[in-house]
Amino acid sequence: MARVSTSHVLLGLLAAGSRHGYELKRAHDERLPRARPLAFGQVYATLGRLRRDGLVAPAGQEREGGPDRTAYTLTGEGRAALDRWLAEVEPPMPYVSSTLFAKVVVALLVADVDRARDYLVAQRRAHADRLRELTAAKTAPAATVDDVVAADFAIAHLDADLRWLHTTLDRVADWHREVHP
Amino acid sequence: MTQLQARGVVKAYGPTPALRGVNLEVGEGEIVSVTGPSGCGKSTLLHCLAGILRPDAGQVTWRGQRIDGWSEAARSKLRRTEFGVLFQFGQLVAELTAAENVALPLLLAGTGRREARTAALAWLDRFGVVELADVRPGEMSGGQQQRCATARALVTEPQVLFADEPTGALDTLTGEQVLTQLVRLAREQHTTVVLVTHEPRIAAYADREVILRDGAVDHSGLGLDLPLAGGQR
């Protein structure tokens, strides 16, 4: 099962503007409510790696009677890495859903609507193509019951992904108004 | 080779536009699905292509001949001879048996009674419901009725089959069995199929998917309300 890339989700959240670790954790948990909540340690460790790799940079500190809180901003390289991840179509497989979910949410969050649209079109096409292949395989005269049952399983999941994708995108206009007022 | 073509087809119901200039080409023997959200105009497009409705503007061409301007009688004859039409609810004639329902298009086209019955039985057999030949629709399940309706739509061996949500009223497995048989027979006979559906799983039976949105073909491939850059839609 493909794991969700926390690094890329954080890069996506930073695309909207600089934030410090605590804000990133809250934004992550709000935007991906069904995902496992991020631990603070995981956020800071990930930010440390992203900074080391030049994908984020410190954007100032604030002190509110507590420890220093460093805000981070996306670098040019960070944006390029995020764009590469978003452009990469997920291989349509039965258990792709969580990565698909994270990627669609992040695609909708980033400022570049054309890029998000390109990704969603490509992903939808990949799913529809795979659905067609599986349908052809299961309806072939030589298909065994085992073939049909296995194809059914994959088809049901892909169909569910596609329905969810459609419903989500139907809500997109509202999302964009919310995220980019 | 293009068999059926829509060019700039426009259709409105009173003040409500349903099609806003649809362009579509369907090749001979091709199975094309027309998908899109509710109200996108997919059923209206099917009705215009099948000659059931006349477009307000634009052209519908069948083998190079414009049919949109034909009289109702001429279009009706075309539907009896070259086209087959299948709807979500089979729309069998309640007073007739399965065999009589399936034979009906042949009788209307002038085929003799005995020959029409023989052909009807053969088609009922292909769909696995020949034992229901003398049963009326009221005594059949939904799946059995839709198998009979599909046999009736194909009995004239039409060049094009227009199917509007043909499995929409059936459970998943029954719908799939009907559709699998329909697609297999269509391919064997090289029948062109225009399949209207809102379900991705059903659209996957087609060779190609055409997505409609707001009464026009959506070339973006999404068919959805995703805003474009600059606030355009």
Domains belonging to chain B, first-starting first, are 1-81+162-168+192-222 (3.40.50.300), 83-157 (no CATH)
User: Exposure of B81 by Cβ count < 10 A (0-12 exposed, 13-18 middle, 19+ buried)?
Assistant: middle
Tokens at A129, concatenated: 């193509």
- Find the mean pLDDT for residues B153-177: 90
Domain boundaries, chain A: 1-88, 89-181
pLDDT score of B218 more than 50: yes
User: Residue B200 and residue A131: Cβ atoms within 8 Å?
Assistant: yes
Report the C-alpha gap between B193 and B190 in whole angstroms: 9
Quick one: pLDDT at residue A2? 43
Return the closest-CA partner of residue B164 out of B142, B192, B189, B194: B194
To the nearest whole Å, the CA of B97 is away from the closest chain A CA by 30
Tokens at A42, concatenated: 């995981």
Bigger pLDDT: A65 vs A77: A77
Tokens at B175, concatenated: 């719908």
Among chain A, residues having any CB pair with chain B shorter than 8 Å are: 113-114, 116-117, 120-121, 124-125, 127-128, 131-132, 134-135, 139, 155, 158-159, 162-163, 166, 169-170, 172-173, 176
Residues B52-110 pLDDT 10s:
999 999 999 999 999 999 999 999 989 988 999 998 876 899 999 999 999 999 998 89
> Which residues in B lie closer than 8 A to residue A158 (C-beta atoms)?
200
pLDDT score of B171 more than 90: no
Report the C-alpha gap between A153 and A163 in whole angstroms: 16
**Bridge partner residues of B162 (DSSP):** B85, B194
Tokens at B79, concatenated: 């539907």
Q: Which range is least confidently modeled, A117-131, B47-61, B151-165, B202-216?
A: A117-131
Quick one: pLDDT at residue B51? 94
ipTM above 0.90, yes or no: no
Domain A1-88 grouped into CATH 1.20.1630.10: no
Quick one: pLDDT at residue A175? 58
Pairing status of strand B192-196 against strand B160-164: parallel
Identify the band that residue A177 occupies on the pLDDT scale cut at 50, 70 and 90: low
Q: Which range is least confidently modeled, A166-175, B26-35, B143-152?
A: A166-175
User: Exposure of B123 by Cβ count < 10 A (0-12 exposed, 13-18 middle, 19+ buried)?
Assistant: buried
Q: How far is CA A70 from the centre of its chain?
A: 25
Count of beta carbons in the 10 Å neighbourhood of residue A89:
14
Report the C-alpha gap between B9 and B99 in whole angstroms: 37
Nearest Cβ partner for B225 among A121, A127, A170: A170
pLDDT score of A62 more than 60: yes
Tokens at B6, concatenated: 């829509």
